[in-house]
Amino acid sequence: MQSPSLTKPVHLLLFLVLLFTGLYFAKTVLVPVAIAGVLAMLLTPLADFLQRKKCRKAVAALLCVLTLLGFLAVIIGLLKWQLSDLSTDLDKIGDRLSDISREIKRYINQNLGVSYKKQEEIIDGQSAMAGAGGSQVGTIAAFLFDATVNFVLVVVYLFLFLLSRDHLEGFVLRVVAGEDKKEATAIISGAVKMTQQYLTGLAVMIVMLWVLYGIGFSIVGVKNALFFAVLCGLLEIIPFAGNLAGTMLTVMMVMIQGGDIVMIFSVLAVYAVVQFAQTYIIEPLVVGSEVNLNPLFTILSIVIWEAVWGIAGMFLAIPMMGVLKIVCDHVTPLKPYGYLIGNGDKKGGKLAERIKSLFGR
């Protein structure tokens, strides 16, 4: 017979297993919905502003979507412009890759005793195994098709969320009991406010990182410095791993383009300086503690959501954990869990107040 003291933990564990199993197998449907929901919370103030200016709700929602698409088009245009400059060096990059490949083969032959012929056989075998899984062209085409479909779905869901946001809020308030309507309203407003502050702060921080990386990479002489600055900044949407991945890509391209050891260490030095500024100056001032999550559970949530929903899960992890904490803080039986995943009583405060506090006593 099961001990009563183990009943609740077992039920909780079973619930979590079923929840994440369902989320994993339903990711094709749920990921576009979740991304659109987060973006809708970000654009809600703009939609409300447009409606106060006598715009019809559908027109306001459409203008918000077009604003977001315009912003994305500017970023893509900037990257395309820089890529056009980068493409002029493709022949040199190909030659440099061939040189690096020959150096690696020579090192393996001299230090590990593997002959050049054996290395070629191993490479050919790996290529055959990769080809057996299907055509690379077909794989790329399928990926592009899925990405296009998901992008269209996110845009459609975003428009519909903005159009029917009042209706959805009314549904939630009708579901909860009468005495809980006040707490439900607080949860909705808190979740929307937290998401807006987090994503707005993240966007401002990314722009600041573009400037810092652009200046730093230009000073050390990186080719197409603006492209790599934009890339490193954009990868900030993936917490912790994104900025490191962007810098490693920059280092790899510097090596491929023929950069010496001094330039490589200079790029790493730029990364270290920018990371210091981001961690101790930019992020506390611009992003602050709006989400107010414990660092342990922040990293844990990123790892879990990456396993469930991939890269999209890493982007959504912090906003979803922030919403979960707000729910836990307003539901009495869940308050201990809100305290567990939270970061004490630290609050973010407004940007102006944080800047003023730096120069105050």
- pLDDT tens per residue, the chain (361 residues)? 455 566 777 777 888 889 888 988 998 899 999 999 999 988 988 898 999 888 899 999 999 999 999 988 988 887 777 666 666 565 566 666 666 667 777 766 677 666 766 667 666 665 555 454 445 556 677 777 888 888 999 999 999 999 998 888 888 888 876 777 788 888 888 888 888 888 888 888 888 888 898 898 888 888 778 888 888 888 877 766 677 777 787 887 777 766 677 888 888 888 888 888 887 777 766 665 556 777 788 888 888 888 898 888 888 888 888 888 888 888 888 888 888 888 765 554 444 454 445 444 4
Q: Give yes or no for a contact between 342 and 325, defined as CB atoms under 8 angstroms apart.
A: yes
- On the 0-12 / 13-18 / 19+ scale of CB atoms within 10 A, 358 is exposed
Q: Terminus-to-terminus CA distance in the chain, angstroms?
A: 62
For 292, left (φ over 0), alpha (ψ -120 to 50), or beta? Answer: left
In our burial notation (b when 16+ CB lie closer than 10 A, e otherwise), range 239-273 reads beebbeebbeebbebbbbbebeeebbebbeebbee
Residues 44 and 197: their CA atoms lie apart, in Å, by 12
